[in-house]
Amino acid sequence: MGLSAHAAARQVTVVFLFTLSMTACSPVPKFDPDRDARTSFEAATSQASAEARYLMVVFGADWCPDCRKLYENLHSDAVASYMRDHMDFVTIDVGQKDRNLALAAELGVTVANGIPVAVFFGPDGKQLGTTNDGQLEPSRHFTSRQILTFVRTVVEHHRITAPLVEKTSG
């Protein structure tokens, strides 16, 4: 004997809500520890090079509030729009600052001054610089507008600077 249409709809709703709640409990990692870092980096480099785009490689971890905020800002409407037109980015998990450090070192990146830390490449594949001096470490305090200005400075002036702290009138 089959379910009534109402009972079937209720069952589908329950399954959907359960699935949604499980997704909310276990979000997709922004800095996926199970993803092969070297393969991700090589694929991103290949794609950016083929399309003559800039590449931002962000080393961080999901436990890090600054890393999560930077990731969120890079996906904000204003920044994502600019990124779509000019720059690709890939995230590399560094665990508790103990994972993928060989790749980081090969790229001239150190996590000594905190994470997130990024390395940038030009459309020609040449390295432009890093944020080894902690420029992105306080990302939880940056707005998407500040990150947009930071990214634009990399693309338009080939300079790696710290995002400017916005002054509040008081």
Quick: pLDDT tens for 72-124. Answer: 999 999 999 999 999 999 999 999 999 999 999 999 999 999 999 999 999 99
- The CATH number of residue 125's host domain is 3.40.30.10
In a domain, 68, yes or no: yes
C-alpha to C-alpha distance for 92 and 100, rounded to whole angstroms: 8
Tell me whether residue 162 is in a domain: no
- Does the residue 88 lie in any domain? yes
Residues paired with 54 in a beta bridge: 87
Going by C-alpha positions, the residue among 57, 64, 16 that lies closest to residue 40 is: 57
pTM above 0.75, yes or no: yes
pLDDT tens digit string along 34-74?
Answer: 999 999 999 999 999 999 999 999 999 999 999 999 999 99
pLDDT surpassing 90 at residue 133: yes
Respond yes or no on whether the N-terminal peptide bond of residue 116 is cis (omega within 30° of 0).
Answer: yes
Indicate the pLDDT class of residue 163, thresholds 50, 70 and 90: confident
Is 119 a domain residue? Answer: yes
Strand, coil or helix: what is 122? coil
Range of the structural domain that residue 124 is part of: 37-157
Contacts 24+ apart (CB under 8 A), 24-33: 29/62, 29/93, 30/60, 30/62, 30/67, 30/68, 30/71, 30/91, 31/58, 31/60, 31/61, 31/62, 31/67, 31/71, 31/91, 31/92, 31/93, 31/94, 32/91, 32/93, 33/93, 33/95, 33/99
Average pLDDT rounded to a whole number, residues 152-169: 81
Contact indicator for 120, 137 with CB cutoff of 8 Å: no
Give the CA diameter of the chain. Answer: 71
Residue 168 lies inside a defined structural domain of this protein: no
| Length in residues, the chain | 170
Residue 146 lies in a domain: yes
pLDDT for 8 beyond 50: no
Q: Which residue has the higher pLDDT, 18 or 146?
A: 146
Q: How many domains does the chain have?
A: 1
Which residue has better confidence, 15 or 163? 163
